Structure formats: structure tokens, C-alpha cells
Structure 1
Amino acid sequence: MLYRLRSTDGKFDRLEPVAFKDFSSFGNLEKDLEELIAASILDVLFEDASLMPIFQERQYQAEADIYALNENGELIIFELKRGAAGEDAVHQALRYAQDAGQWTFSTLQNKYNQYINSSTDLSLAHKEAFNLEHPLDAKEINKKQHLIIIGSAADDSLINAVDYWKHQGISIDFLPYRIYEINGEKYFEFFALPYDRHKNPSDVKGVLFDTNRSWDEESIWYMMENNRVAAFGDAKRFVEYVYPGDIVFFSHKWTGIVAAGRVKKGSIKAPDDETLYRDVEFITPIPRKGQAIKAMPFGKVSEITGKSFFWARTIKVPYLSKDEADNLAKELKAYLEKST
């Protein structure tokens, strides 16, 4: 809940609740909410809980809205409700979960290929996404299912139904959202499990950022030679997630972390419609074009930070705290200098 702070003689002395709305208040479709959640599920809403989206519902099909895998290969099933839905929505979601629990690996493989519009082995994609030592065996994927219902914070009937089934031993959770309209601007409030932890955008943080090698081998040199952290095409929005003072660790696919730089003060720049970048000051040695690229292996990064990252995205969540980022930068600098 959002409260407006009221004060008397410069002293905060009372709270005034701010009215909230949901997607249906603005005439938006449930599909709009689905696309918003799907686009933000990893890097914004669940920044400390790595999930690998593998499928979204198709029109006129009896399917949940979003399906994802966690690091253990368990299936996370999201059902989204834009406005008041009631207990029938939970019954519907339970049927989806029951159906999904019977899906074979082959079924999941086919759904994943439809989702990414490519023929990629699901086990290998999962291994790469979570940087596992070995891919999970087919029978280890979808051994367990978890149901998450996202709906309006004002939908008491839906909340009560979720609580009932949760107390019956079903792995189900309710995540509420609210929309506030303040001075003509709309704000989306979302509560992520388990403690709604999010890094404060104003806090200095560490960000593992992809060099775009999968799409363009030259992207790394665009960044290294111009002192930039950049992203391109549909992924360019990720540059908006880093702020002045943050430490960016450049993650080069199949290689490791190749450099670190501190984001400089100044605005985001857009040299063309397909590119966004911020200026950085490198604080470690950087690779040079035409020379062998030295890098800290991804496994060592996890060893130093004690974190398991989701490697398959432009930004490798979770973020690092300032102290964690400073320590990794120090270790990376020593590692790269020793390798020289």
C-alpha cells in the first residue's frame, strides 16, 4: 500500500492512503498484463530469483499465461488476472497446473521451440542459462510444479481461494499488484516473493552485462574501444537498468568476464534507433582487438560472489551490492593482470 506523508510544522505526523486501481480500470486487456510481466519477469520483478521463461499461452488454448523453469528444472506456472477474478480463477489455474504436471519432456521441448521460434535443445539451453556443470536429465525437468497467481491486491475472493489451497499443501502463491495514478502518471506496484527484495535504483550496484556475442562478434569492440556499456535492438532497454556509479562487468559468452567499468555521470545516449549506451570508465584491464581475450571464468565469478546467476539474458541477475561489486572488481583486476 502507498501512503502520502502528511506533516505539521515540518514534522511527519500522519499517513494518508493513496487510492489504487488495476488493469481493468484503464480498459487494458489481460494480454497486456501478460506481456508486461513476461517482458519483466527476470530483470525487474524477480531480480533475485532466476527464472527461465519457456512458453506463453496461445490464443484460444486452455493454457496458463506464462511457464518458466527454475534452476532445479521445476516448472513455475503463472496465471495473471487484470481485475477481480474470484475463486473460479484459482480452479482454472489448478487445472492448468494439473495438465502441465503430466507434460513429458518432449512436450516441453516442443513448447519451448514454439516460444523461441527455433530448434534449440531445452536441456542445453537450461544448462547454459544457469551455468550448470551438466545439463539436467530429461526426467529431472518438470518433476515438480509451482503455481503463482498474479492479480489485483483488492481481489479478496481470489486471495482467500489461494490461501485455502496453500493450506491444503498445494504449492501456490498469490502476488498482488496495484496501479497508482499520481499527477497524470501511472505507477505499477508489484510484490515479489519471499520478502519483496529489490535493489534501490539509487544505490550503487554491480551488474553483469552481456557483450551481445550471440548476435554480433563486433559488439564487444564497440564497447571496449569507445568506453561504453551498450545494448542493441530489442535488448537496448537494459541500458536503462544501470545508473551512474554502478560497476558493470562485461560478460562475453563462452568466455567469461572480460572487464569491469564504472558508469560515468551523464545521460543515456542513442546514436541510432537500434542502440543505447552509457559511458564507462574501465577499472580493470580490457581486451584488445586482434589479441587473445583474457577472462575470468563464469564458475570463478560464482565462487567469488557466492551467487548463482541467470546467464541467458543481457543482464545477469541477481545484481551485486556495492561491497560485492567492489570485491569482484578487485578480484577481476588481479586475475586479469596475473593472466597478462
Structure 2
Amino acid sequence: MLYQLTLPSLAQSYRVRIERPDTLGISEKHIEDFLSSHIVELIPEEQLMLLAQERKFQEEADILALDRKGTLFIFELKRWQSSVENLLQVMRYGQKFGRYTYAQLEELVQRQQRLQGSLRLRHQEYFGLECPLPEQDFNREQRFVVVTNGVDNDTLEAIQYWSKKGVHINSLTYKLYQVAGEPYIQFDTYNPELDLLVETNPGIFIVNTNSTYMADAWRDMLADGKKGMAAAYYDRKHAVQRIGKGSTVFLYHTGVGVIAKGKATGPVQVSDYQGDAGEQYAVPLQFEWALTSPADWPARAPKAYEINAAIASGHRFRPTVFNASETMRDAIQQIWVARKG
């Protein structure tokens, strides 16, 4: 629920009504485009590993992802007026992708994300598992998630019905509001593990250098060590759009630690990457400090376990981009100062 607070007469505060998309001139395509460009806020990277997104003219679900156990999550944005058609669509995808073997899943990821090598090893590294899952554990089960409008009661009731029948199907609802004549959308991050997901205000960010997929991308990000960029690519490229000018940005290199700290000096810049048009999104940075030589990383880079120990947390540093707290920012800086020599 969204309320307009009325001060000082709080008892007179009124609830902002939920609007239907058509009353605001908003189409399903608008919602689809919005959610696809904010996918990093829709799916928690620490809980789900993105496999694929829908491509034009292909018979594919909107989003396919894996959890740490190898369960396949199938996300579908509601496009139809009838709840029956909504669920038939997502179940049809379940019938198709539920039959995929490990080899077919691996081929899908290699095609869409340019994955080099084994999906099993990528999955192990992504979730920090002690050993890779056996191939037969991938796609043993499927979970369906229908993304639908919060006022679409028919679809919500149908989801509840089939859930009681043993079909693993959930809803992720968005709500539309109108405030001062302008449209607003509200949605929550899908949370399969039911962890506490705390939404924080932007301003401090950790950006992963994506070394698993692109071994040398960090070189472009660090550049000369004075000015560089925080970049994201392909399916995760929109993640850096959250970084506003003036934000504090740390670059984290998987398996190493934090290798740079800087300030965002401008908006997102879109460019080609290795011949692929518009597949690199980057925020320009002015570095406060940067470790441009890998020889310096073992002794000087603040490690993930050191940062977690300093703030008594168990945070995973795998996501492409995530908000960091002031406490985490200060801990990284203190570790850096203590060893910079």
C-alpha cells in the first residue's frame, strides 16, 4: 500500500489508489520493456543465476534462471487478458524447457551469454559450491513465476488454485500508481529463498569486473588507474544504470577482492562490445585509488572474507552491481589504508 502522508494531520493521510495500465495509457509492452531493462532488480543475483532472456521471434520464456540446487526458474510476463491464457503460456514453456537436458541448457547459455566452457563449473563458481553439481541434478524440477498486475485478480486466483494442486507456480506482482499526474510503478524483488532483502538508497556501489565471462574486462575498467569506468555487458548491462553521478563505486574482481575505488563522474554511456552493437553500458569513474597491476592484488586488495569479517556479515560479492552500506564502504577503506604501504 502507498499512502500520501498529510502533516501535521496524519489521520487525514490517504491511500493512493492502484491504477489499471489502460487508465494510464500504459501497455503490456511498456511493462515488458521496463522490467527487461530492470532485470537486475527483479531477480536477486545472489539467489538465481540468469541463463537466458527472451529474444525476438523466438519461442522462449521471458527469463530462465537456475538456483544453487539446479532448479530451473521460468519467468513469464502476463500479456493476455484471460487468466487461462496466462497460465497456459507459462505451462507450455514448462513443458518445453522442463525436458531440456543438461547439454541443452549448456548450449543455450553458451549461445546467449557467450559462456566459454562448462555450465557446471560456471554454476559452481557462481554459487561458491564445494564441487560442481552432477549433470543429472540440473533441471530436475521447475518453478514457474508469472509477473502480473496487482489488480488482475483472475490470474492471482488461478495461480493460487494450481499451487494448491501441486504445481510450483508463484506470482510476482507490480502495481501502478498516479501521483501528481505522473505514473509510478512499484514491484518487489523475487525472493525464492525468503531471505531478508533490504532495499537501500543509491549512492555506494560494488561492481563486479565480470572476470568469469570476460577475463580482460577489468583492464578496460581500470584503464590508466586515474580515469576508468564501471561496466556491465549483454544480459546484465542495465545493472549500472542505477549508478548516479557522484556515487562511490568499488570494483570487485572475483577471487581477488576490491581492486579500485572511485567516483562516478557522469551518466551511463552505451557503446559496442567486440562488434556487438550497444552491449556495453559503462559509467565513467575518477579513481581515488586503483590496483592496475595483478602483482599487487594478493597483498593489497581488500578480500571479500576480510570485509565480511569486519562488518560481521556473510555477503556474497557475485552480483554484477549491488548497493553497499556506509559500514561496508568504511570497512573496505580501512583495510585499504592499513595495507597500502
- Report TM bin, short chain: 0.7 to 0.9
Native 8 Å contact 1:57 1:66 kept in 2: yes
Residues 38-71 of structure 1 show CA distances to partners (whole Å, capped at 9, x for unaligned) of 44222x2234753222123456665432111123
Native 8 Å contact 2:232 2:239 kept in 1: no
Instruction: Indicate whether 1:17 and 2:16 are aligned.
Output: yes
Native 8 Å contact 2:45 2:318 kept in 1: no
Taking the TM superposition and a 5 Å limit, the aligned residue runs for 1:1-340 are: 1-7=1-7, 10-12=8-10, 13-22=12-21, 26=25, 28-30=27-29, 33-42=31-40, 44-47=41-44, 49-57=46-54, 63-82=60-79, 84-116=81-113, 120-183=117-180, 185-192=182-189, 193=191, 194=194, 197-201=197-201, 205=204, 207-211=205-209, 214=214, 216=217, 218-222=219-223, 224-226=225-227, 230-231=230-231, 238-242=239-243, 247-253=248-254, 255-261=256-262, 263=263, 268=266, 275-279=282-286, 281-282=288-289, 286-289=290-293, 292-294=296-298, 295-298=301-304, 305-311=313-319, 313=320, 315=321, 317=322, 319-331=323-335, 333-334=337-338, 336-337=339-340
Native 8 Å contact 1:177 1:189 kept in 2: yes
Residues 220-244 of structure 1 show CA distances to partners (whole Å, capped at 9, x for unaligned) of 4337323x65337777754442458
Percent identity over the alignment? 24
Q: CA RMSD in A?
A: 3.8
| SS of equivalent to 1:111 | helix
| SS of equivalent to 2:75 | strand
* Alpha-carbon offset, residue 132 of structure 1: 3.7
| SS of equivalent to 1:293 | helix
| SS of equivalent to 2:5 | strand
Native 8 Å contact 1:230 1:239 kept in 2: yes
Distance 1:288 1:223, change over 3 A: closer
Distance 1:171 1:99, change over 3 A: same
Separation in 2, partners of 1:151, 1:94:
15
| SS of equivalent to 2:167 | coil
Distance 1:142 1:84, change over 3 A: same
Separation in 2, partners of 1:153, 1:107:
35
Distance 1:164 1:191, change over 3 A: same
Residues 243-289 of structure 1 show CA distances to partners (whole Å, capped at 9, x for unaligned) of 5886533213553322445x48xx6257896753244545xxx4255
Distance 1:238 1:229, change over 3 A: farther
Q: Which amino acid aligns with 1:309?
A: F
Separation in 2, partners of 1:96, 1:270:
35
* Alpha-carbon offset, residue 182 of structure 1: 3.8
Q: Structure 1 length normalisation: TM-score?
A: 0.75
Distance 1:100 1:240, change over 3 A: closer
Q: Which amino acid aligns with 2:315?
A: K
Residues 145-201 of structure 1 show CA distances to partners (whole Å, capped at 9, x for unaligned) of 211110011110100111122233332211111233444543221123448844232
Native 8 Å contact 2:225 2:291 kept in 1: yes
